[in-house]
Amino acid sequence: MARVNENFLKLKSGYLFPEIARRAKAFMEAHPAADVIKLGIGDVTEPLPPAVIRALHEAVDEMARRETFRGYGPEQGYEFLRNAIIEHEFRPRGVELDADEVFISDGAKCDTGNILDILGRDNKVAVVDPVYPVYVDTNVMAGHTGPADEHGRYAGLVYIPVHAENDFVPEVPNEHVDLIYLCYPNNPTGTVATRETLQKWVEYAHEHGALILFDAAYEAYITDPAIPHSIFEIDGARDVAIEFRSFSKNAGFTGTRCAFTVVPKTVQGTTSAGERVPLNSLWNRRQSTKFNGVAYIVQRGAAAVYTPEGKQQVRQLVDFYLENARLLREGLQSIGIDVYGGINAPYVWLKTPGGLSSWEFFDRLLERAHLLGTPGSGFGASGEGYFRLSAFNSREQIEEAVERLQGVDLT
Ligand code: MLT
């Protein structure tokens, strides 16, 4: 009989979002009349921007004609998209990249998991706690951890706690680590990292020969002009960091699938013999072998994000969700709940009232207000006593959610 990867058996329960979906389904089956508003998973609700739709249609038509039909594309992505990304995302921020440092993919989640293919087994891995669960679970699957303790913390990982008391700013570790996951604007807390904070991490990475895996999937939500959008805006970062980006949360591609990962040619790893190896060539090799690229049609849709009308429409979409976040924030504050995030991010992170645990608050919110959110403890032990609400929804549903929050006793 085929042997399984037993590391999977170490994983604590299901992935967080399927677990929430399971509980929500059970609640809805027991209360079929309840009109549950979903503020749990950060999935967009508004249609794709018209400029993207037009580009998708045109690309479909190209596929219908022999002269313009395309088969396999480059595994790394078409140059038209890689160049547009460099020109519109990075050059205006003073970051110069070559096209072969940008790899188009089907998702930042996939890439943050897949990147482990090119990294060794013995790296000491640090995550901020609470954390986007994918960073932890993919390391568990790859056998980089021991078993989990009763709080869900896996042996071998370094957890860096963030909470209201330290303003959600992760301290650089006072021990050696090789691999660091940072996500800014942060999922789940909705907080951002200043230039100074990122500079400290880049300096740490230089001192320790560490690699920063920087997830910037929510960068479009940054409203504060002082906050960096890319880790590569920080001096020295291109020697120590890989950045993950996505079209999901800005242009609404969660179901359309397009993202990209920047692996500068200057970022290196080491062999056990101490030989330095550029990670760019390893990632290129990995992608060429295991991935056949994103559909041409979808890449044309993504490139339309950078047309003048595309840019304006994406800005409107992001502003729409940011306004939702503001309504949620202020609605929660009006009932005396402490809230964080939601200004430079589509997530509002709140302190559960009355000392309720995250899952107790989840049940209470569902039962009393028919609102579905995400328990902070699902993102890590330090998320206990916190709760996440997503601003991805229609205005009508957000306004209704705020009314319900204001109309029930949640303590
Ligand atoms: C979330 O709710 O945290 C996001 O939907 C996760 C993701 O983008 O994969």
Sign of the Cα torsion 182, 280, 283, 158 reads negative
**Mutate-to-test residue for ligand 1 from 15, 16, 17, highest number of ligand atoms within 8 A of CB:** 17
Sign of the Cα torsion 359, 365, 370, 371 reads negative
74 CA to centre of ligand 1 in angstroms:
28
Backbone angles phi, psi at 198, to 5 degrees: -65, -35
6 CA to centre of ligand 1 in angstroms:
26
Q: Tokens 């932890």 — which residue?
A: 136
DSSP secondary structure code for residue 333 in this structure: H
280 lines ligand 1 (CB under 6 A): no
180 CA to centre of ligand 1 in angstroms:
19
Ligand 1, closest atom to CA 134? 9
133 CA to centre of ligand 1 in angstroms:
9
Which helix (H) or strand (E) segment is 331 a member of?
Answer: helix 308-334
What is the per-residue pLDDT for 14?
62
Token code pair at residue 28? 């809805």
What is the per-residue pLDDT for 364?
95
Judge whether residue 58 has pLDDT over 80.
yes
Name which residue sits closest to atom 6 of ligand 1, judged by CA: 42
DSSP secondary structure code for residue 372 in this structure: E
126, burial (CB in 10 Å: exposed 0-12, middle 13-18, buried 19+): buried
What is the per-residue pLDDT for 148?
92
User: Percent helix, strand and coil across the chain, each rounded to 5?
Assistant: 45, 15, 40
The secondary structure of 200-231 as a DSSP string is HHHHHHHHHT-EEEEE-TTGGG---TTS-SSG
pLDDT-derived band of residue 387, with 50, 70 and 90 as boundaries?
very high
Nearest Cα residue to 322 out of 339, 346, 341: 346
At 101-123, the pLDDT tens digits run 999 999 999 999 999 999 999 99
Sign of the Cα torsion 208, 209, 210, 215 reads positive
**Mutate-to-test residue for ligand 1 from 15, 43, 374, highest number of ligand atoms within 8 A of CB:** 43
pLDDT-derived band of residue 18, with 50, 70 and 90 as boundaries?
confident
Dist. CA 185–CA 43, nearest whole Å: 16
Beta strand 125-129 with 157-161 is parallel
Architecture of the domain defined by 6-47+309-407: Alpha-Beta Complex (3.90)
Determine the average pLDDT of the residues in 281-285: 98
At 322-348, the pLDDT tens digits run 999 999 999 999 999 999 999 999 999
153, burial (CB in 10 Å: exposed 0-12, middle 13-18, buried 19+): middle
Report the share of the chain in percent with pLDDT over 70: 99
Ligand 1, closest atom to CA 246? 8
What is the per-residue pLDDT for 279?
98
| Maximal CA-CA distance, the chain | 66
pLDDT-derived band of residue 405, with 50, 70 and 90 as boundaries?
very high
Angle of helix 308-334 relative to helix 395-407, nearest 10 degrees, comes to 10
Name which residue sits closest to atom 3 of ligand 1, judged by CA: 42
**Structural contact between residues 361 and 371, judged by C-beta atoms closer than 8 angstroms:** no
Dist. CA 242–CA 264, nearest whole Å: 7
What is the per-residue pLDDT for 15?
62
What is the per-residue pLDDT for 151?
84
Token code pair at residue 104? 């188009």
Token code pair at residue 349? 């992170």
Mean pLDDT computed over every residue of the chain: 96
43 lines ligand 1 (CB under 6 A): yes
133 lines ligand 1 (CB under 6 A): no
Dist. CA 30–CA 212, nearest whole Å: 45
217 CA to centre of ligand 1 in angstroms:
10
Break the chain into its structural domains and give their ranges.
6-47+309-407, 53-307
Backbone angles phi, psi at 125, to 5 degrees: -110, 130
pLDDT-derived band of residue 211, with 50, 70 and 90 as boundaries?
very high
35 CA to centre of ligand 1 in angstroms:
23
Name which residue sits closest to atom 1 of ligand 1, judged by CA: 42
Architecture of the domain defined by 53-307: 3-Layer(aba) Sandwich (3.40)
At 67-96, the pLDDT tens digits run 999 999 999 999 999 999 999 999 999 999
**Mutate-to-test residue for ligand 1 from 114, 132, 372, highest number of ligand atoms within 8 A of CB:** 132
Angle of helix 50-63 relative to helix 296-303, nearest 10 degrees, comes to 150
**Structural contact between residues 305 and 311, judged by C-beta atoms closer than 8 angstroms:** yes
Hey, do 6-47+309-407 and 53-307 end up sharing a CATH topology, with the first three levels equal?
A: no
187 lines ligand 1 (CB under 6 A): yes
pLDDT-derived band of residue 270, with 50, 70 and 90 as boundaries?
very high
Name which residue sits closest to atom 8 of ligand 1, judged by CA: 42
Beta strand 347-351 with 339-341 is antiparallel
DSSP secondary structure code for residue 158 in this structure: E
Judge whether residue 13 has pLDDT over 70.
no
Q: Count of CB atoms within 10 A of residue 256's CB?
A: 19
Dist. CA 15–CA 24, nearest whole Å: 15
Ligand 1, closest atom to CA 374? 2
403 CA to centre of ligand 1 in angstroms:
25
**Mutate-to-test residue for ligand 1 from 41, 247, 372, highest number of ligand atoms within 8 A of CB:** 41
- This prediction's pTM: 0.97
Name which residue sits closest to atom 9 of ligand 1, judged by CA: 109
**Structural contact between residues 209 and 237, judged by C-beta atoms closer than 8 angstroms:** no
In angstroms, what CA-CA distances link 131 with 135, 141, 159? 8, 16, 9
